[in-house]
Amino acid sequence: MLTNVEHIGIAVRDIAASNELFAKLLNIQPYKSEAVESEGVTTSFFRVNQTKIELLEATNPDSPIARFLEKKGEGIHHVAFEVENIEAEMERLKAEGFTLLNEVPKRGADNKLVCFLHPKATNGVLIELCQEIKE
Ligand SMILES: CC[C@H](C(=O)O)C(=O)SCCNC(=O)CCNC(=O)[C@H](O)C(C)(C)COP(=O)(O)OP(=O)(O)OC[C@H]1O[C@@H](n2cnc3c(N)ncnc32)[C@H](O)[C@@H]1OP(=O)(O)O
Ligand SMILES: [Co+2]
């Protein structure tokens, strides 16, 4: 079950400058900055009521964010949905014909397990599934 839009991922070239811009826009400070080495990104998170804005800057040229910026420039990169059981959702979506970009849930930012669906199978929108990691 997809319960809510957990975050909207925005690709940016300069996360320090974008932190200032979004802090002005939202009138709040980011609650977290976190690097995710496996994804070649550094992120910062702003909480906006039930959802979040995730800013993403590439930390190496092979990062998905670097390739996205090269091709499309700054902008909305993905929409992340919160799920209660990521494995069950991955199985359901695979059976429905969606293309999973990772067959096993992987560690994301903000204490989550994540999986991505190929945008070609979702009308050109990169979709991320997120499940909170309960300690
Ligand atoms: C996990 C940490 C954090 C979190 O929230 O926890 C994150 O969100 S990390 C976010 C960064 N990580 C990822 O995005 C992982 C999943 N992404 C991928 O595997 C790739 O980026 C992929 C497969 C979506 C695209 O790979 P690549 O750019 O190497 O391939 P192409 O350039 O050939 O793209 C293929 C096709 O897809 C279109 N595309 C690419 N990125 C996006 C996007 N973000 N949204 C929509 N469409 C996208 C691209 O334009 C190509 O289409 P075409 O019509 O052929 O031009
Ligand atoms: Co994300």
60-76: per-residue pLDDT in tens? 999 999 999 999 999 99
The CB of 82 under 6 Å from ligand 1? The reply is no
The CB of 66 under 6 Å from ligand 1? The reply is no
Residue 129 has pLDDT above 90, yes or no: yes
Q: Which SS3 state, helix, strand or coil, does residue 10 take?
A: strand
| Residue ID of nearest Cα to ligand 1 atom 9 | 39
Spacing, Cα 64 to ligand 1 middle (Å): 6
The CB of 108 under 6 Å from ligand 1? The reply is yes
The secondary structure of 102-118 as a DSSP string is -SS-EE-STTEEEEEE-
State the pLDDT at residue 2: 85
Structure tokens at 119: 């945008």
Ligand 1: nearest atom to the Cα of 36: 2
Cα 12 off chain centre by:
13
Structure tokens at 105: 């849930």
Q: How confident is the model at residue 59 (pLDDT cuts 50, 70, 90)?
A: very high
The CB of 46 under 6 Å from ligand 1? The reply is no
What's this model's pTM, rounded to 2 decimal places? 0.97
> ipTM of this complex > 0.90?
yes
Partnered with residue 127 across adjacent β-strands are 79, 117
Ligand 1: nearest atom to the Cα of 128: 8
Enumerate domains of the chain plus CATH numbers. 2-132 (3.10.180.10)
Mean per-residue pLDDT of the chain:
97
Ligand 1: nearest atom to the Cα of 108: 6
